[in-house]
């Protein structure tokens, strides 16, 4: 008996008595004509399955299948596919009913591998089950994607064929390596791990399933497709790799295995794979939306709106995405990004999303996107480590615990006829920035190590200190405490310990200040005497501009900080923020958002010791 491929398509509303069409009428509505690129979803609901039964006759026979339309509430049994479309110009077709449906060559290859010879296989694949050319249907189906992948029996992940440049035996060595890591105590160490040359061959083959070598890791949609299913399996050519084995192998690699014969560069290569696997394996813990988006913003999407829509299935239950849910594929990219950021702010009950380097440089930013919105088009060219910023955010209290003004946020949207372009905030203006150092270090935060920290940073720090001392002298301010203040600025006023991160991180003590100063003056070149983590070095000192405010207060802010920008402490913000006034005068109410910043002496609510409620202003960020 020949096997059948069955494609599943899901309702977008509950069954209604008026949804009674003849089988022929349903077929015409489904296909919209004789030949179509995509199957057209039936937006009115049908209470029964829709089938177009077709069978295959051999390995090379045309793909043939049936289509069902059903409700997720009926708890259907099916497998969901996760793959990349591949070259859009390289397409073929599957026969569904009496019609041909165009699909990518990559999907065709995967379906042929999945096709059983003698039994039905019920699958969900987006190219067959969503009309990509209908924005209304696409929006409706996208909202179901989280449920579709959460409820599938199994997710089948297609990593592609093994290229000719890598032998099948080398690819099999990757699986043997992972099997060994998964059970180190009982599986003998493979012989290829005893030779440096063989290890290099292994790492080359590991690219087959690595973010640096496999396009599956680069697409935004595959994030929720792999996180949400309980069961998932990777297919690589003829090889099969259960995700559970991959996840446990990575855990044991980090905890139990000493990979001796590899370079620092190769260790970083492995760390990239480890980080991605761990993020996915722990993905069902459901971070707040802004953290999820920041983790995956480097991934690509043919349609930039999918950088938001493709992650909505990972939003925790109970989080209201009211602004985002108003968007669809006819919405502009700035609307989608701004709406998502507004929802993220409301969900976090504060301005936490704004410390994740939301703004891109003007030449690479999404056109017309608000500068405060998470521009998910990509990552900033001069960004600080967002995850260290997230850690530090929990320790600072610049706003002294004052809650974010959600009513002002919503009122600003309403006052602009529903436009999400402006963010309404409230807070205190601290001071204007009057001097900015031209010395700054354009180094990717992930390239900083203990070994190169001194050569990268000490001369920059000395130049900053000289600038600060000269400025204080000119304004006749007391420079007596500058050394201590400057050293606190170097470490952000906090020491990240290597122990329990839930314990309050201490401020630097006198002995710590001495060690920091010796590093600044290059008397001490060992960065480990100052920091326990390279993340803190990079986040605090790389890609940052050093500045002074009107009173001589020192600080660090975004790369493009300039004289005339202002430092504000905003309600709900644990960091201060650098803002750029849109007009002259003390009563300016509109500002361009720049970024969060570190300002010595106001990180823990000190500004509220000399200001009161009457000084709080409502402003708009653009």
Domain map of the chain by residue range?
4-158, 168-283, 441-542
The pLDDT tens digits for 453-483 are: 777 788 888 999 999 999 998 887 776 789 9
What is the total residue count of the chain?
622
**Statement: residue 53 has pLDDT above 80:** no
Q: 531 and 537 in contact (C-beta within 8 Å)?
A: yes
What is residue 59's predicted lDDT score, i.e. its pLDDT? 62
Tell me the mean pLDDT in the region 446-454: 76
Distance CA 376, CA 372 (A): 12
Q: In the 3-class helix/strand/coil scheme, how is 259-307 assigned residue by residue?
A: CCCCCHHHHHHHHHHHHHHHHHHCHHHCCCHHHHHHHHCCCECCCCCHH
What is residue 6's predicted lDDT score, i.e. its pLDDT? 58
**Token output for 360:** 């891109």
Distance CA 111, CA 93 (A): 11
Distance CA 163, CA 215 (A): 13
**Statement: residue 36 has pLDDT above 70:** no
Q: Which residue has the higher pLDDT, 318 or 500?
A: 318
**Statement: residue 55 has pLDDT above 70:** no
The pLDDT tens digits for 180-196 are: 998 888 888 888 887 77
Enumerate residues 6+ apart whose C-beta is below 8 A from 214.
Answer: 159, 160, 207, 208
Tell me the mean pLDDT in the region 536-551: 85
What is residue 42's predicted lDDT score, i.e. its pLDDT? 27
Q: If you search the block for the tokens 């339309």, which residue do you land on?
A: 69
What is residue 29's predicted lDDT score, i.e. its pLDDT? 31
The pLDDT tens digits for 335-357 are: 999 999 999 999 999 999 999 87
- The pLDDT-based confidence of 97 (bands split at 50, 70, 90) is confident
pLDDT over 90 for what percent of the chain? 51
**Statement: residue 608 has pLDDT above 80:** yes
Tell me the mean pLDDT in the region 220-244: 97
Distance CA 82, CA 123 (A): 11
What is residue 373's predicted lDDT score, i.e. its pLDDT? 97
Q: 71 and 10 in contact (C-beta within 8 Å)?
A: yes
Tell me the mean pLDDT in the region 119-137: 82
CB under 8 Å, gap of 24 or more: what pairs does 119-122 form? 119/3, 119/4, 120/3, 120/4, 120/5, 120/6, 121/3, 121/4, 121/5, 121/6, 121/79, 122/6, 122/8, 122/68, 122/76, 122/77, 122/78, 122/79
Tell me the mean pLDDT in the region 86-106: 87
Among 14-23, 199-208, 484-493, whose mean pLDDT is lowest?
A: 14-23
Alpha helix segments (H runs only) across 143-195: 145-151, 168-182
**Statement: residue 504 has pLDDT above 50:** no
């Amino acid at each position: 008996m020949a096997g059948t491929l069955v494609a599943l398509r899901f309702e977008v509303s509950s069954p209604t008595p008026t949804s009674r069409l003849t089988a022929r009428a349903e077929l015409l509505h489904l296909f919209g004509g004789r030949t179509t690129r995509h199957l057209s979803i039936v937006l009115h609901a049908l209470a029964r399955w829709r089938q177009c039964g077709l069978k295959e006759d051999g390995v090379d026979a045309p793909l043939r299948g049936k289509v069902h339309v059903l409700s997720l509430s009926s708890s259907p049994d099916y497998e969901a596919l996760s793959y990349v479309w591949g070259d859009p110009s390289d397409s073929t077709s599957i026969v569904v009913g009496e019609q041909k449906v165009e699909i990518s060559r990559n999907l065709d290859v995967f379906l042929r591998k999945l096709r059983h010879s003698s039994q039905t296989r019920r699958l969900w694949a987006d190219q067959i089950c969503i009309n990509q050319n209908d924005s209304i249907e696409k929006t409706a189906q996208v909202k179901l994607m989280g449920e579709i992948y959460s409820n599938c029996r199994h997710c089948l992940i297609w990593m592609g064929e093994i290229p000719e440049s890598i032998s099948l035996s080398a690819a099999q060595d990757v699986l043997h390596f992972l099997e060994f890591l998964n059970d180190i105590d009982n599986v003998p160490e493979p012989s290829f791990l005893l030779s440096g040359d063989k290890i290099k061959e292994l790492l080359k083959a590991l690219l087959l399933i690595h973010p640096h070598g496999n396009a599956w890791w680069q697409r935004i949609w595959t994030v929720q497709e792999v996180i949400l299913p309980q069961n998932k399996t990777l297919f690589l050519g003829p090889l099969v790799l259960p995700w559970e084995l991959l996840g446990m192998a990575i855990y044991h690699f980090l905890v139990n295995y000493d990979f001796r014969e590899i370079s620092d560069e190769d260790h970083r290569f492995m760390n990239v794979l480890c980080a991605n696997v761990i993020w996915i394996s722990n993905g069902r813990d459901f971070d707040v939306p802004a953290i999820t988006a920041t983790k995956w913003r480097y991934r690509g999407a043919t349609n930039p709106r999918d950088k938001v829509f493709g992650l909505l299935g990972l939003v925790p239950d109970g989080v209201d995405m009211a602004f985002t849910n108003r968007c669809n594929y006819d919405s502009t990219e700035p609307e989608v990004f701004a709406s998502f950021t507004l929802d993220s702010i409301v969900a976090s009950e504060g301005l936490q999303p704004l410390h994740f380097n939301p703004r891109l440089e003007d030449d690479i930013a999404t056109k017309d996107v608000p500068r405060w919105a998470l521009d998910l088009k990509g990552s900033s060219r001069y960004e600080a480590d967002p995850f260290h910023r997230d850690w530090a955010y929990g320790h600072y209290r610049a706003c002294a615990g004052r809650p974010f003004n959600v009513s002002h946020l919503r009122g600003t949207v309403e006052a602009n006829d529903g436009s999400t372009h402006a963010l309404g905030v409230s807070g205190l203006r601290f001071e204007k920035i009057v001097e900015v150092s031209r010395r700054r270090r354009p180094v990717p935060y992930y390239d900083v190590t203990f070994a190169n920290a001194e050569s990268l940073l000490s001369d920059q720090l000395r130049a900053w200190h000289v600038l600060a001392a000269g400025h204080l002298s000119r304004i006749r301010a007391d420079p007596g405490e500058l050394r201590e203040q400057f050293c606190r600025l170097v470490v952000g006023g906090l020491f990240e310990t290597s122990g329990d991160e839930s314990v309050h991180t201490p401020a630097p003590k006198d002995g710590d200040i001495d060690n920091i100063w010796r590093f600044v003056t290059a008397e001490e070149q060992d960065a480990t005497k100052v920091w326990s983590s390279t993340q803190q070095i990079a986040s605090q000192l790389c890609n940052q501009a050093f500045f002074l405010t009107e009173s001589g207060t020192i600080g660090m802010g975004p790369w493009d900080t300039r004289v005339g920008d202002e430092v504000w402490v905003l309600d709900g913000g644990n960091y201060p923020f650098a803002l750029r006034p849109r007009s002259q005068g003390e009563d300016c109410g509109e500002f361009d958002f720049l970024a969060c910043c570190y300002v010595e002496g106001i990180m823990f609510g000190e500004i509220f010791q000399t200001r009161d409620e009457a000084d709080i202003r409502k402003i708009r960020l653009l």
